């Protein structure tokens, strides 16, 4: 049977510097979605990658005495290592220096030119001769170049413009009517506020002075503006060659995850490119908030950056993924701190899930087969209600709410243990003991499915402990979510602490 497809993307990351917690946030979120959709049996394509062209990258490479390509190769390797450490299950890592991508960019520009959406003009701006780049007034420090503290010159250069202004009305209509869906609602309102009060100007889509980029196919003196180059990755990443009649089976994206700082690019410029190509718009642009650290913006100059590797060293990869999404609503800014992470880890993972697993499985260990005798209606009802809430939260990308459902089911199990006191039953009522342990083990199987998109490695380890291997993964979701679907458990492995207290 043909599976439904699901296409999810992250922004492609600048390679001026190594990955940081902000880039981890977008990527882990997309991975959680991809894994959740795979769990539902969908044919998922998850794209991430690197944004490698432009003068900033060329300058950074120069500072390090490297050729741009040599530099980007080095940084891309650090991204890939980190994504492996975090178990990011991308289907493709696209690089804007990939030849196939560059060809698609050139092809798309030709299409836009043929449609008369591109014209020649000139760009005037403040230019630093040493940086070899234009600056906006806002970027200057005391009216001088922020890097060289030198005066800038007024420079005019030839370039090509995209008629972005032509898309103002169609974009307003499509966004208002929800055909171009932007969430959360406040981000949709933000962009509509902008579009209905300001004039959308045409945008310069090429640069003469920037050499590190994709050449404009009909004018080799010019290179493509990095944002146009970068946005096209969502098309070229699917192997699209530029024929609007032959888009990939995954097109359009079901969900594009971006941070709030790049909303305009992903609605105005991206929207205009897609409308020009006359292909379907993405089904959803989801805009997440920013992570701050103890109330401050994370930045190298403030010295308050937490390196992703450090978090993984402390909490492990899975718990890091969990902690990034358990506190706050995904669409909001969230203020993190190491001490909050320690508290949450100990409360929810070490004392919560970890403790439930070790209490249950320690009692079950060496007791032979623990069989289903009769279906416990209370558990059945609770678990199916939890699945309903969990699925609704996950579909709405309300990850923290999905994790609350997971925690509520753990609390339900813990109360059940305290009430039933299985360690006492063991001495006097073997049947009663087995019934309690069966219910708890079966509940852990459900909990484990819920946590799988967040903590794939631990979930795998726990399925193994439950004596469930490949067959569990091969089940359809409908079956996996049924209470008492597994009828016999046999716990034969000694339990190590899954989440040691920190």
Task: Give residues 215-244 in contact with ligand MSP (rule: CB under 6 A).
Answer: 230-231, 233
Q: Decide if residue 259 touches ligand MSP (CB under 6 A).
A: yes
Judge contact between 402 and 390, C-beta under 8 A.
yes
Which one of residues 120, 243, 261, 343 is an interface residue with ligand MSP (CB under 6 A)?
261
- Cα–Cα distance, 491 to 365 (Å, whole number): 5
Q: Kindly give the pairing relationship between strand 285-288 and strand 182-183.
A: parallel
Instruction: Map tokens 């594009």 to a residue.
Output: 256
Strands 369-371 and 488-490: antiparallel
Q: Report the largest interatomic distance among the alpha carbons of the chain, rounded to a whole angstrom.
A: 90
Would you state the structure tokens that stand for residue 460, as one six-digit string? 């795998």
Task: Count CA within 13 A, CB hemisphere, residue 139.
Answer: 14
CB of residue 181 vs ligand MSP: minimum separation in angstroms?
A: 18
Candidate ranges 145-153, 192-200, 258-266, 346-354; the one touching ligand MSP (CB under 6 A): 258-266
**Binds ligand MSP (CB under 6 A): choice among 140, 203, 262, 468:** 262
Q: Is 182 helix (H, G, I), strand (E, B) or coil?
A: strand
Specify whether the CB–CB gap between 13 and 23 falls below 8 A: yes
Q: Can you read off the two tokens belonging to residue 150?
A: 């030198």
Of residues 440-459, which lie at the interface with ligand MSP (CB under 6 A)? none
> Least distance from C-beta 65 to ligand MSP, angstroms?
23
Residues in 362-421 that interact with ligand MSP by CB under 6 A: none
Range in contact with ligand MSP (rule: CB under 6 A) among 9-17, 116-124, 278-286, 479-487: 9-17
Identity of the residue, 259 or 271, whose beta carbon is nearer to ligand MSP in the bound complex: 259
Provide CB contacts within 8 A for 148, sequence distance 6+.
128, 130, 131
Stretch 12-31: interaction string toward ligand MSP, x if CB under 6 A? xxx-------xx-xx-----
Q: How far is the CB of 234 from ligand MSP (least distance, A)?
A: 7
Residue numbers 295-334 binding ligand MSP by CB under 6 A: 298
> Least distance in Å: CB of 23 to ligand MSP?
5
Burial classification of residue 246, based on how many CB atoms lie within 10 Å of its CB (0-12 exposed, 13-18 middle, 19 or more buried): exposed
CB 432 within 8 A of CB 425: yes
Query: Which one among 8, 30, 34, 51 touches ligand MSP, defined by CB under 6 A?
Result: 51
Q: Shortest distance, CB of residue 192 to ligand MSP, whole angstroms?
A: 20
β-strands 291-293, 43-51 pairing: unpaired
Minimum CB separation of residue 298 from ligand MSP in Å reads 5
Report, in Å, the least distance between residue 282 CB and ligand MSP.
Answer: 12
Does residue 80 interact with ligand MSP by CB under 6 A? Answer: no
Question: How many other C-beta atoms lie within 10 A of the C-beta of residue 239?
Answer: 12
Closest-approach residue to ligand MSP (CB): 259
Minimum distance of ligand MSP from residue 73's CB (angstroms): 17
Interface with ligand MSP by CB under 6 A: which range of 120-128, 202-210, 253-261, 335-343? 253-261
The reply to whether omega before 252 is within 30° of 0 (cis) is yes
**How many residues lie near ligand MSP (CB under 6 A)?**
19
Q: Residue 361 to residues 47, 134, 444, 489: CA-CA distances in angstroms?
A: 38, 64, 10, 10
- Does the footprint of ligand MSP cover residue 258 (CB under 6 A)? yes
Is the Cβ of residue 234 or residue 438 nearer to ligand MSP in the bound state?
A: 234
Minimum distance of ligand MSP from residue 85's CB (angstroms): 18
Nearer to ligand MSP, 25 or 449 (CB): 25
**Angstrom distance (rounded) from CA 244 to CA 248:** 10
Does 336 interact with ligand MSP (rule: CB under 6 A)? no
The four Cα atoms 115, 119, 125, 128 give a dihedral, to 10 degrees, of 80
**Residue with token string 């097109």:** 251
Closest approach of Cβ 287 to ligand MSP, in Å? 9
Which residues in this chain contact ligand MSP in the complex, by CB under 6 A?
Answer: 11-14, 22-23, 25-26, 51, 230-231, 233, 258-259, 261-262, 290-291, 298
């Amino acid at each position: 049977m043909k599976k439904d497809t699901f296409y999810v993307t992250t922004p492609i990351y600048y390679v001026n510097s190594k990955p940081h917690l902000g880039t981890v946030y977008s990527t882990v979120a997309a991975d959680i979605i991809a894994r959740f959709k795979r769990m539902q049996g969908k044919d998922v394509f998850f794209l991430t990658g690197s944004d490698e062209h432009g003068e900033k990258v060329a300058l950074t490479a120069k500072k390090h005495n490297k050729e741009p390509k040599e530099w980007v190769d080095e940084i891309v390797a650090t991204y890939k290592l980190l994504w492996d450490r975090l178990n990011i299950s991308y289907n493709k890592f696209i690089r804007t220096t990939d030849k196939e991508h560059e060809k698609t960019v050139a092809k798309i520009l030709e299409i836009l030119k043929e449609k008369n959406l591109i014209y020649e003009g000139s760009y005037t701006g403040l230019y630093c001769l040493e940086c070899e780049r234009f600056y906006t007034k806002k970027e200057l420090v005391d009216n001088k170049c922020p890097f060289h503290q030198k005066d800038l010159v007024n420079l005019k250069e030839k370039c090509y413009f995209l008629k972005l202004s032509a898309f103002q009305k169609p974009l307003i209509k499509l966004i208002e009517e929800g055909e171009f869906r932007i969430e959360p609602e406040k981000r949709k309102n933000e962009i509509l506020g902008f579009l209905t009060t300001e004039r959308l100007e045409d945008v310069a889509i090429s640069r003469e002075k920037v050499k590190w980029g994709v050449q404009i196919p009909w004018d080799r003196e010019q290179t493509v503006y990095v944002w146009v180059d970068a946005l096209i990755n969502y098309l070229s990443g699917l192997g699209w060659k530029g024929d609007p009649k032959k888009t990939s089976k995954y097109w359009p994206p079901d969900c594009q995850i971006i941070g709030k700082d790049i909303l305009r690019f992903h609605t105005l410029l991206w929207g205009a490119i897609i409308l020009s190509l006359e292909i379907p718009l993405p089904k959803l642009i989801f805009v997440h908030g920013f992570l701050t650290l103890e109330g401050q913006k994370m930045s190298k100059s403030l010295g308050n950056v937490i390196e992703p590797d450090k978090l993984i060293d402390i909490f492990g990869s899975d718990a890091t993924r969990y902690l990034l999404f358990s506190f706050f609503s995904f669409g909001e800014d969230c203020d993190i701190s190491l001490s909050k992470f320690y508290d949450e880890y100990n409360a929810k993972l070490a004392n919560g899930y970890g403790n439930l697993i070790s209490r249950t499985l320690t009692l079950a260990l060496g007791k032979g087969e623990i069989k289903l005798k009769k279906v416990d209606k209370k558990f059945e009802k609770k678990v199916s209600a939890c699945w309903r809430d969990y699925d609704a939260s996950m579909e709405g990308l309300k990850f923290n709410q999905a994790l609350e459902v997971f925690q509520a089911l753990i609390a339900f199990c813990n109360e059940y243990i305290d009430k039933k006191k299985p360690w006492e039953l063991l001495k006097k009522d073997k049947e009663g003991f087995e019934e309690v342990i069966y219910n708890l083990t079966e509940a852990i199987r459900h909990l484990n499915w819920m946590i799988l998109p967040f903590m794939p490695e631990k979930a795998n380890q726990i399925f193994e402990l439950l004596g469930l291997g490949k067959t569990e993964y091969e089940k359809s979701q409908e079956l996996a979510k049924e209470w008492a679907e597994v009828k016999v458990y046999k716990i034969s492995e000694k339990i190590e602490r899954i989440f040691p207290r920190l």
